[in-house]
C-alpha cells in the first residue's frame, strides 16, 4: 500500500512560521500548490514566491520522513547558488532532507553522482578523476600542442590533415562530443548537435574534398582521441556526463526503475533554465505516465527561459502538461510594472501586481523612459540615481530599501562603435568575469579570485591547492596508478614524506591564506611562486611547461583593490547602483531597475534596420500584448526584456535613443510613462 500524505493546515502553519515574516500567511494559490503531491507543472510569474512555496512543501515532507519503502525526495535546481539558498533557508529545520535517501543538488550533480560516475566505473573499473569543462579543455590543449604523440595509428599524411583542420578551425576539437543515435555511439559536432562530418576546409579554385576513406580515418582519430581523454586522462567534460547517463540506460535499463524506487517525489525548480539534454534526461528517468513510480513536479516560468545553450531559448523545450497549476500573483511587482511584464509574456499568463507599501497603500510609480542622444548616453545612469533620490524625497521609495538598485543590459560589448552596448553607457564596465571558478589560466588569478564573501581561510586554501594541482597536470605528474592528483591525494602523499614536508605545506597554506584575507596579494603570489620549485622537487620535477602559468599576468580586467570602489557600480550621495547584464540579474529582486537598450542583430537594412528592444517591443511599451507568432529576433528581445522588467519592486526605467523614441514611441501616453530627455 503506497504511503498517503495529507498535508494539513497545521503543517502549512508550521512552514509559514519558518519561512514567512511574522503575521504573514500563504494565500490560497500557494496553499493549493503546497498541498498537491501529484505529478504536475507549476507556472509561476516573477516575484510569485514559487521557491518559497516549494520550500514549504519540502519542510512539510520532512515531517513525514522516513517515507515508506525507504523512498527519498529529489530536489533539482539549475545552479549551485539556488541549491545553497535551499540549504541556507531550511537546512537547519529539516536535516533529514539533506541525508540519505534524499538528494538536493544541481541537475549536473545528480547526473554525475547517480548515472555518469557509476557508468564510467562499471566500464573502466575506476572512477573518473575530474568532471570539469575547463580542465578537460586544458588537457585537450596539451594534446593538440603535441599531436604527434597521439597518433592512434594515423598515417603521417592523415596526421597532416588533422594539423590542417586544427590551424583552420581549432574550435571543432573542443566542441565535439560523444552521442548516441539509434543505440549506436557516434560523434556529434556539439552537445545536442548534428553528427560530426569531416570535410576539407574550402580553399582555392581547385578545391577537392577528402575521400571517403580519408574522412573515415580522420573520424576514427577523433573517436580515439575522445576515448583517450575519457579512459586514460580520466577527465570528463560536463557534457560527457549526459552521454554516459544515456549509455547507462542502454546498458542497464533497470537504472531507471531503481531511481524511481529511490525517489518517490521529484521537484525540479527553475525548469525553464534546463537545456534540451537536461530536460530529456529528467523525462526519461521520471517519465510522468502511469508506469512511473515517482511524482514529478516541474516548477518555473517559461517566459524567463534565457539560459538555454548560451543563447536565448526560442523553442518550447518545456512542454506544459495537462495537469498544470498557476501562481499569477506577484508580491514583487506593482500593478503598473506587472502590466508591462504581462505584455511581454510569449506564453500568455496573467501577471497580477500585488506589491504594496508597508502601510498597505498601493505602489503607484509611473515607469520612466530616459531619452538620450549620442553625447548624453553616459548621463543615463546618473539620471537614474537622481530619479531615485527624487522619489525617496517624496517617500515613494524607501530611504533604506530592502533591495538594491541596478542598471541592466543584454549585450555587454561589440566591436562596432556604432552599435550601442552596456559599455557605451558605462565605459568602466569590467568586461571579464572574476567569479570564482575551479580553474584559471594563471596562478595569480587563483590568489585574486577566491570566494571572498565566505570570509574564511578555507576558500583561499582550496584555490591555492587547485593551483598546485594545475602545476602538476601541466608538468604531466601523476600518481602511482597513473592518475592525476586530487587535493585529498596530494595531502595524503605529503603526510607520508620525510623532512616535515607536510607541516611546511600546511604552514605555507595557512600563511598564504591569511595574506590573501588581509589583501597582501602580491606578497602571497611571490611566496607561492618561490615555493613551487620545492613543491615540484617532491616529484623529481622542475618548472618546465608550467612557467607561463606560474609567472603569467592576470587576464581578468577588474580592479582588485578592495579599498577602491567596485568597478561595476555608480555611487551618488549614497545611492549605489550596480551595473550588469540581464543574465546576471536573473532571479534577483531590485527596488529600482534601469533597463538599457542595446544592439542585437539586424532585422533589415539601412533605414529599415531593426536592432534594439525599443524598436522590436514598441507596441508592448505602448500597452499591447506580444503575439506568439512574432519573429525570432523579437522573441529573443522579448524574453530578455521580460526578465529585466520583472526585477523591480518600485521603479522601472528604460533608456531609449532619441531617434528611436521619435520614430517608434512618439505617441507614448504620459499617463502611463514619465518621459525625461537627457
User: How do residues 405-437 score in pLDDT, each as one tens digit?
Assistant: 999 999 988 767 778 999 999 988 764 444 445
| Interatomic CA distance for residues 155 and 640, integer angstroms | 50
Highest mean pLDDT among 199-203, 275-279, 438-442: 275-279
Cα torsion angle, 192, 195, 198, 202, sign: negative
Whether 465 shows a pLDDT value over 50: the answer reads yes
Q: What is the pLDDT of residue 567?
A: 65
Say which residue, 438 or 540, is predicted with more confidence. Answer: 540
Q: What is the pLDDT of residue 604?
A: 65
Q: Which of 51, 56, 62, 57 is nearest to 94 (CA)?
A: 62
- Mean pLDDT in the chain? 88
pLDDT one-digit tens code per residue, 275-293: 889 999 999 999 867 788 9
Whether 519 shows a pLDDT value over 90: the answer reads no
pLDDT one-digit tens code per residue, 353-386: 999 998 889 999 999 999 999 999 999 999 999 9
What is the rounded average pLDDT of the residues 325-347? 94
Half-sphere exposure (Cβ direction) of 210: Cα atoms closer than 13 Å: 20
pLDDT one-digit tens code per residue, 29-40: 999 999 999 999
In 269-375, beta strands by DSSP E: 295-300, 324-327, 329-330, 352-353, 368-372
| Interatomic CA distance for residues 665 and 658, integer angstroms | 10
Q: What is the pLDDT of residue 564?
A: 34
> β-strands 40-44, 130-131: how paired?
unpaired
- DSSP helix/strand/coil, 191: coil
Burial of 211 (0-12, 13-18, 19+ CB in 10 A): exposed
pLDDT band at 560 (very low <50, low <70, confident <90, very high): very low
| Interatomic CA distance for residues 27 and 16, integer angstroms | 11
What residues contact residue 477 under an 8 Å CB cut-off, 6+ apart?
485, 536, 539, 541
| Interatomic CA distance for residues 378 and 271, integer angstroms | 37
Q: What is the pLDDT of residue 565?
A: 37
Q: Do 616 and 339 contact (CB within 8 A), yes or no?
A: no
> Quick one: what percent of the chain has pLDDT higher than 90?
62
Whether 459 shows a pLDDT value over 90: the answer reads no
Whether 122 shows a pLDDT value over 70: the answer reads yes
Whether 650 shows a pLDDT value over 90: the answer reads yes
Amino acid at each position: 500500500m503506497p504511503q498517503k500524505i495529507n498535508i494539513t493546515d497545521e503543517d502549512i502553519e508550521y512552514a509559514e512560521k519558518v519561512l514567512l515574516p511574522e503575521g504573514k500567511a500563504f494565500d490560497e494559490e500557494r496553499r493549493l500548490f503546497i498541498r498537491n503531491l501529484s505529478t504536475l507543472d507549476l507556472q509561476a510569474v516573477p516575484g510569485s514566491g514559487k521557491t518559497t512555496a516549494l520550500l514549504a512543501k519540502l519542510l512539510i515532507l520532512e515531517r513525514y520522513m522516513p517515507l515508506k519503502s525507504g523512498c527519498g525526495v529529489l530536489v533539482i535546481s539549475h545552479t549551485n547558488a539556488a541549491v545553497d539558498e535551499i540549504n541556507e533557508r531550511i537546512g537547519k529545520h529539516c536535516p533529514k532532507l539533506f541525508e540519505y535517501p534524499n538528494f538536493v543538488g544541481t541537475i549536473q550533480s545528480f547526473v554525475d553522482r547517480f548515472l555518469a560516475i557509476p557508468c564510467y566505473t562499471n566500464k573502466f573499473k575506476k572512477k573518473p578523476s575530474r568532471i570539469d569543462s575547463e580542465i578537460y579543455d586544458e588537457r585537450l590543449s596539451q594534446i593538440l600542442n603535441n599531436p604527434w604523440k597521439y597518433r592512434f595509428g594515423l598515417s603521417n599524411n592523415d596526421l597532416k590533415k588533422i594539423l590542417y583542420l586544427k590551424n583552420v578551425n581549432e574550435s571543432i576539437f573542443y566542441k565535439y562530443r560523444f552521442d548516441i543515435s539509434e543505440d549506436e555511439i557516434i560523434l556529434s559536432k556539439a552537445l545536442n548537435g548534428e553528427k560530426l562530418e569531416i570535410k576539407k576546409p574550402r580553399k582555392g579554385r581547385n578545391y577537392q574534398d577528402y575521400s571517403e576513406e580519408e574522412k573515415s580515418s580522420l573520424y576514427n582519430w577523433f573517436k580515439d582521441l575522445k576515448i583517450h581523454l575519457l579512459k586514460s586522462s580520466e577527465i570528463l567534460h560536463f557534457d560527457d556526463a549526459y552521454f554516459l547517463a544515456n549509455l547507462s540506460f542502454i546498458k542497464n535499463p533497470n537504472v531507471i526503475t531503481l531511481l524511481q524506487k529511490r525517489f518517490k517525489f521529484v521537484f525540479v525548480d527553475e525548469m525553464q533554465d534546463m537545456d534540451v539534454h537536461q530536460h530529456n534526461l529528467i523525462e526519461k528517468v521520471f517519465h510522468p505516465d502511469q508506469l512511473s513510480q515517482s511524482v514529478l513536479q516541474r516548477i518555473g516560468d517559461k517566459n524567463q527561459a534565457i539560459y538555454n545553450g548560451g543563447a536565448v531559448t526560442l523553442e518550447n523545450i518545456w512542454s506544459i502538461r495537462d495537469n498544470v497549476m498557476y501562481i499569477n500573483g506577484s508580491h514583487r511587482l506593482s500593478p503598473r510594472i506587472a502590466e508591462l511584464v504581462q505584455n511581454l509574456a510569449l506564453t500568455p499568463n496573467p501577471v497580477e501586481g500585488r506589491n504594496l507599501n508597508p502601510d498597505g497603500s498601493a505602489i503607484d510609480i509611473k515607469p520612466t523612459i530616459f531619452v538620450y542622444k549620442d553625447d548624453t548616453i553616459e548621463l543615463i545612469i546618473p539620471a537614474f540615481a537622481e530619479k531615485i533620490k527624487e522619489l525617496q524625497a517624496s517617500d515613494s521609495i524607501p530611504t533604506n530599501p530592502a533591495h538594491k538598485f541596478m542598471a541592466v543590459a543584454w549585450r555587454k560589448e561589440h566591436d562596432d562603435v556604432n552599435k550601442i552596448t552596456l559599455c557605451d553607457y558605462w565605459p568602466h564596465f569590467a568586461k571579464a568575469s572574476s567569479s570564482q571558478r575551479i580553474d584559471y589560466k594563471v596562478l595569480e588569478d587563483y590568489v585574486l579570485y577566491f570566494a571572498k564573501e565566505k570570509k574564511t581561510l578555507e576558500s583561499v586554501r582550496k584555490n591555492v591547492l587547485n593551483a598546485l594541482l594545475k602545476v602538476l597536470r601541466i608538468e604531466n605528474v601523476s600518481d602511482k596508478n597513473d592518475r592525476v592528483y586530487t587535493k585529498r591525494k596530494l595531502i595524503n602523499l605529503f603526510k607520508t614524506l620525510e623532512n616535515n614536508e607536510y607541516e611546511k605545506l600546511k604552514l605555507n597554506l595557512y600563511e598564504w591564506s591569511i595574506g590573501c584575507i588581509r589583501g597582501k596579494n602580491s606578497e602571497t603570489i611571490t611566496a607561492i611562486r618561490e615555493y613551487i620549485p620545492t613543491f615540484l622537487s617532491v616529484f623529481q620535477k622542475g618548472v618546465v611547461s608550467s612557467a607561463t602559468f606560474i609567472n603569467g599576468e592576470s587576464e581578468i580586467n577588474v580592479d582588485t583593490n578592495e579599498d577602491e570602489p567596485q568597478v561595476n557600480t555608480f555611487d551618488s550621495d549614497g545611492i549605489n547602483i550596480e551595473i550588469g547584464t540581464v543574465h546576471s540579474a536573473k532571479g534577483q529582486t531590485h527596488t529600482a531597475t534601469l533597463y538599457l537598450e542595446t544592439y542585437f542583430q539586424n532585422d533589415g537594412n539601412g533605414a529599415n534596420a531593426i536592432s534594439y528592444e525599443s524598436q522590436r517591443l514598441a507596441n508592448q511599451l505602448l500597452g499591447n500584448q506580444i503575439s506568439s507568432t512574432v519573429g525570432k529576433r523579437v522573441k529573443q528581445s522579448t524574453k530578455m526584456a521580460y526578465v529585466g522588467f520583472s526585477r523591480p519592486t518600485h521603479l522601472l526605467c528604460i533608456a531609449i535613443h532619441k531617434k528611436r523614441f521619435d520614430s517608434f514611441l512618439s505617441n507614448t501616453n504620459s499617463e502611463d510613462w514619465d518621459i525625461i530627455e537627457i
